[in-house]
C-alpha cells in the first residue's frame, strides 16, 4: 500500500478533489471504483468521494493505482500549442498572482475525453511542460463561452475549489431564450437528476435528485429575451434545465433541451466574483463579450 499524509491544505477539501491534485491523471471513474472496493482509504477506513479531508489525515492507496504528481504528457500538436498561446494572450482577461481568468470561446472543451483531442486542459499540460503549474478548478460546457478560472499552483487550486464548493464564489451568466411570457425576475428551485445523457427536473425523492437554485432577472424582453442568471448551486446543466423546464424558455441554440435553432448555444459566463476571504481582497473577473459579440 502507498501512504500519503495530507499537508498544506489549510482548509478541508473533498477527497476526490485532493486525489486529483495528488495525481492529475486519476479519473473520477478510477477514484469512485477504488473507493467502493476499499482500495483507497482515509485513516484506515473506506470513504466516499465527498468526504472532506484535512491536514494530517492519512490516505492509503493500493499499489496498482499509479500515483504521479505530473500529468502524462504527449507531444503537443500545433493546435494545442496555438490554444496555449491564446490562453496567455488573446483569451486572457485577468492575470492575478494566484490565477488566470480567461474568456473561453464557444466550441472549446474545458477538459479532454472520448474523441476530444483539443481542450483547455490539453493546453495547460503543454504549458506545464514548459515550467508552469496550472490547474483547472471548474468547467464550462464546450458550447458555453465566458469567464473561466485557471489556478497557478496547487494551493490556489485548493482555495478556489473550496470557494466554489462552499458557494462563496459568485457566477453570473447571460443567455438568450425564447418562449412564453415569464415574470421579469425571480428564483427557481427544483430538483435535478441525470437520466441518460440529459439532466431533467424530478421530484425530491427521485434517485440521484439534487436541489438546484437559480436567481434570474430579465435584461431585455420580447419573443427572444435576454436573461441574467445567478446560480446559487452548481448542478450539471443547471441553467439550461431551469430555462427549459421551469421557465419554459429554453436557451437559443440548445438542441439538447429544445432551444430554437442557432449556430451556437447562446449562453455566456459573464462574470465571476471572488470574495476577499479567499485571496485577501475581492476580485471581479468579467468578460466584455457582450451581446454584440455572441
* Residues catalogued as catalytic: 141
Quote the longest CA-to-CA distance of the chain.
62
In whole angstroms, give the CA distance from residue 76 to residue 120. Answer: 13
In whole angstroms, give the CA distance from residue 285 to residue 288. Answer: 10
Element (DSSP H or E) covering residue 203: none
Beta pairing, strands 145-151 & 267-274: parallel
Residue with the three cell numbers 441518460: 196
Instruction: Give CA separation, 195 vs 198, 208, 234, in Å.
Output: 6, 9, 17
Phi, psi for 231 (deg, rounded to 5):
-70, 135
Q: What angle do CA 91, 235, 273 make, to 5 degrees?
A: 45
Q: Which of 100, 81, 91, 17 is nearest to 51 (CA)?
A: 17
In whole angstroms, give the CA distance from residue 257 to residue 198. Answer: 8
Amino acid at each position: 500500500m502507498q501512504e500519503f499524509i495530507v499537508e498544506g491544505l489549510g482548509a478541508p477539501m473533498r477527497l476526490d478533489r485532493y486525489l486529483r491534485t495528488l495525481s492529475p491523471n486519476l479519473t473520477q471513474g478510477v477514484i469512485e471504483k477504488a473507493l467502493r472496493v476499499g482500495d483507497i482509504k482515509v485513516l484506515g477506513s473506506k470513504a466516499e468521494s465527498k468526504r472532506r479531508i484535512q491536514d494530517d489525515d492519512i490516505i492509503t492507496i493500493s499499489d496498482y493505482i499509479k500515483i504521479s504528481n505530473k500529468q502524462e504528457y504527449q507531444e503537443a500538436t500545433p493546435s494545442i500549442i496555438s490554444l496555449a498561446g491564446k490562453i496567455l494572450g488573446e483569451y486572457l482577461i485577468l492575470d492575478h498572482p494566484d490565477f488566470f481568468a480567461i474568456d473561453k470561446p464557444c466550441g472549446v472543451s474545458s477538459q479532454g475525453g472520448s474523441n476530444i483531442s483539443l481542450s483547455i486542459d490539453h493546453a495547460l499540460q503543454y504549458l506545464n511542460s514548459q515550467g508552469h503549474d496550472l490547474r483547472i478548478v471548474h468547467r464550462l460546457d464546450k458550447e458555453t463561452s465566458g469567464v473561466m478560472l485557471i489556478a497557478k499552483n496547487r494551493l490556489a487550486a485548493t482555495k478556489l475549489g473550496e470557494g466554489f464548493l462552499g458557494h462563496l464564489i459568485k457566477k453570473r451568466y447571460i443567455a438568450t431564450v425564447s418562449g412564453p411570457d415569464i415574470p421579469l425576475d425571480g428564483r427557481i428551485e427544483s430538483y435535478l437528476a441525470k437520466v441518460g445523457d440529459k439532466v431533467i427536473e424530478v421530484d425530491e425523492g427521485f434517485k440521484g435528485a439534487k436541489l438546484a437554485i437559480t436567481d434570474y432577472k430579465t435584461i431585455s424582453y420580447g419573443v427572444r429575451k435576454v436573461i441574467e442568471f445567478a446560480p446559487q448551486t452548481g448542478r450539471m446543466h443547471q441553467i439550461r434545465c431551469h430555462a427549459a423546464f421551469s421557465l419554459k424558455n429554453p436557451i437559443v441554440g440548445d438542441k439538447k433541451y429544445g432551444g430554437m435553432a442557432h449556430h451556437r448555444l447562446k449562453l455566456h459566463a459573464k462574470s465571476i466574483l471572488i470574495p476577499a476571504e479567499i485571496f485577501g481582497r475581492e476580485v471581479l473577473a468579467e468578460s466584455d463579450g457582450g451581446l454584440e459579440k455572441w
